Amino acid sequence: MQNKLILLAEEIANAAEKSFLSLFENKENYYYCVLVTTGEALPPFISAWSFEALETFAKEISEEKANLSKWFYGDSPYFNFEEENFKTVRELFYAREKKLDQDFFKEVDFRVEAMIVAMELLDKKGIFSLNQSRDKVYINVEVVPPDHSNTLRALRLNKKEDILDWLNEAAEDFIV
C-alpha cells in the first residue's frame, strides 16, 4: 500500500511541479498555491494566487470583492493552470475507479494522502520559495466543497504562524 501511495504521490508531484514551475516563470509573488480536489477525491488540479493577480483582479471588479476571492481557487486567473500536465494523473485515478466501489472512504483517504505527500515533496524541493519566501506562501490540498479537513491539511503543510491570515480569513470551522 505504501509503495502505491508513493508512486501516485510522485506522479502528482511531477504534474504539479511542471504546472507551478511554468506559472512561476511570470516572476509574480505568490501567496496561495494549492492542489484542488473534490470530496470524492477526483483527480486534482492546481490553482494559485499572486499579489499581482489579486491587485489586477481588484482593479477589474472592486477591492472588496477581490478580498472575498483572495483565498478562492475558482476565481484565480491560474485556476486549473496547465491542466494538460495532469493527464497521466487522471489516467491513474480513473484506473483506480473500481476501488471506489469496494471501499469508498479508504480510497478517498488514499488519494488525498497521495496529494498531501505530493505537496510535501514539492515543498522539500523548494518549489514554493522560487519567487518569494516560503513563509509567505500558503500551500494546501483543498477539498471542495470546503470543510474542516482543509484546515487540518493546512496546518500539516504550513507553519501555523505563517498562515494566520488564511486561518483568520478563510479556514473552515475548526479551533486552532
93-121 pLDDT, tens digit each: 998 866 555 688 899 999 999 999 999 99
Extract the C-alpha cell encoding 55.
Answer: 491587485
- Mean model confidence pLDDT for the chain: 93
Share of the chain above pLDDT 70, in %: 94
Gap between the Cα atoms of 23 and 32, Å rounded: 12
Asked if 138 and 153 touch (Cβ cutoff 8 Å), the reply is no
Where does residue 126 fall: left (phi above 0), alpha (psi -120 to 50 degrees), or beta otherwise? left
Q: Terminus-to-terminus CA distance in the chain, angstroms?
A: 31
Asked if 141 and 112 touch (Cβ cutoff 8 Å), the reply is yes
pTM of the entire predicted model: 0.93
Could you identify the residue written with the cell 505527500? Answer: 117
Could you identify the residue written with the cell 489516467? Answer: 91
